[in-house]
Amino acid sequence: MKKILSIAITALICALLLLPVAAMPDWYPEDVYSFEDFYGTDLKQVVDDADIFTDAEEKEFTAAVNSIISKYGYDLVIFTDVSTYGVGEQYYPVDFYRFNGYGKGAQRSGSVFFICMEPGNRYWWSAGTGAAERYYNYENVNALDDRIEPYMRRGEYAEAVRVYLQSIDELYTNGTLVEEVETPAALKYLTIGGISSIVGLITGAIVSGKEKAKMRTVAYATYANDYIVQNSFALRDLREAFLYKNVTRTVISTDSDRGGGGGSSHSSGYHSSGGGGGSFSGGGRHF
C-alpha cells in the first residue's frame, strides 16, 4: 500500500511539472537582447490569435491591408491576442511587429494595429514606425480613438478594424485625421471685428485714462512715510508659532483613460541597446 502511494505521488509531481506555465508566444525570442532584425517572408497581414474575427472577415481585412501596403509602400498588420504575457501594453504590439520581421524599406516603415482581449485588460493600440511614425501625432491618435472607441466598447471588433483601415488610408493620403471646420465668412469677420473692437476699447480707455489722470494731481495722503525718522525703525524678536495646516487635494486632470498618446516615441530597452528596432509612436485606449 505504501509503495502504491509513493508511486502515485511521484506520478502527480511529474504530471504537474509537465503542465504548461504561461509560455511566451512562439515568435517571441528567448533572448531579446541578442535578437537580430530580419525581414520576414510569407507574413500574414492579419494575425487573429484572439480568434475574434470570422474567416470571411480575415480575408476581407487581408485584402484591404494589402491594398494599403501596395498604395503607400508602408507595411501594415492587424494583430489580436489574449494576453501581453507580461510585456508592457505599448511594447507588446511593437515587439510583435519587430520580432516577426514586419516593415518595408530600410526604416522598416509601417503600422501595427493591436487588439488585446485579456480579461480585465482589454485595449487597442496602434503605432507606426519609420516613415509612418510621423502620422501618429497627438491629434491624429485622438481622432482615431474618437472613431474606433464606440465600436470597441460595443464589442464590434470587425467594424472597428474596418474603420481603422479607412482611417489609415485617409491618414496616409491627407496626413491628418483632424477635420478642418470651415468657419463661415460672416462669423470670421464678426470675430475679427469683435476682437479688434475690444482691443481698441481697452487701448482707448488706457490712453484717455492716462491723460485724464495727469489732469488731477490732488490726492489724500494715507501714509506718513516722509516723516519717519531716519534709521528709527527697529524690528526685534520675531516669533513664529505653528498653529495648524490645511491640506486640499485635487485630481490631476487626465484625458479620460486614454493611454500613451500620440507623438510619444518609445522603444524597449532591448530595442535600442540591441541596435535594431527603432522608435514607434502611437496610442490607444482600454475598452
Partner 1 sequence: MADTVFCPVCNAQTSANSKFCEFCGSPMNQGPVNPTAPAGGPKIEEYKCPACGSPLVFSTDSGKLRCGACDNEYEIGTIQQYQENNTGAEFDWGTYSQSLGGTLPEMTVYICKSCGAEIVTDGTTAATHCPYCDNEVVITEKLTGALRPNGIIPFKVDKKGIKEKIKQFCEGKKLLPNNFFTDQMIDEVQGVYVPVWLFDGKLSGTMGFDGTSTSSYTEGSYRYTETRHYLVECDGGMSFSRVPVDGSAKMPDDLMNSIEPYDYSQVVPFDGQYLSGFLADRYDKGPDDSIPTASERMMNSATKAFTSAVMANSQKVSSVTMRNNGLSLIDPSVKYTLLPVYLFNCKYAGQIYRFAMNGQTGKLVGELPIDKGKKRKYFWLPFLIAAAIVFLILFLLMR
Binding interface with partner 1 (CB under 8 A): 183, 188, 191-193, 195-197, 199-208, 211-212, 214-229, 232-252, 254
Residue among 3 and 236 whose Cβ is closer to partner 1: 236
Q: Nearest approach, Cβ of 105 to partner 1 (angstroms)?
A: 39
Burial (Cβ within 10 Å: 0-12, 13-18, ≥19) of residue 253:
exposed
Q: Nearest approach, Cβ of 215 to partner 1 (angstroms)?
A: 4
Look at residues 79, 62, 77 and name the one whose alpha carbon lies nearest to residue 129: 77
Q: Nearest approach, Cβ of 187 to partner 1 (angstroms)?
A: 11
CA distance 259 to 121: 12
Which cell is 177 given?
Answer: 485625421
Q: What phi and psi values does residue 130 have, to the nearest 5 degrees?
A: 65, -135
Look at residues 92, 83, 162 and name the one whose alpha carbon lies nearest to residue 120: 83
Residue among 19 and 187 whose Cβ is closer to partner 1: 187
Question: Which residue has cell 505521488?
Answer: 9
Residue among 41 and 231 whose Cβ is closer to partner 1: 231
Residue among 21 and 251 whose Cβ is closer to partner 1: 251
Within 10 angstroms of residue 82's Cβ, the number of other Cβ atoms is 13
Q: Nearest approach, Cβ of 186 to partner 1 (angstroms)?
A: 13
Q: Nearest approach, Cβ of 212 to partner 1 (angstroms)?
A: 6
**Exposed e or buried b per residue across 273-287, where buried means at least 16 C-beta atoms within 10 angstroms of its C-beta:** ebebbbbbbbbbbbb
Residue among 181 and 251 whose Cβ is closer to partner 1: 251
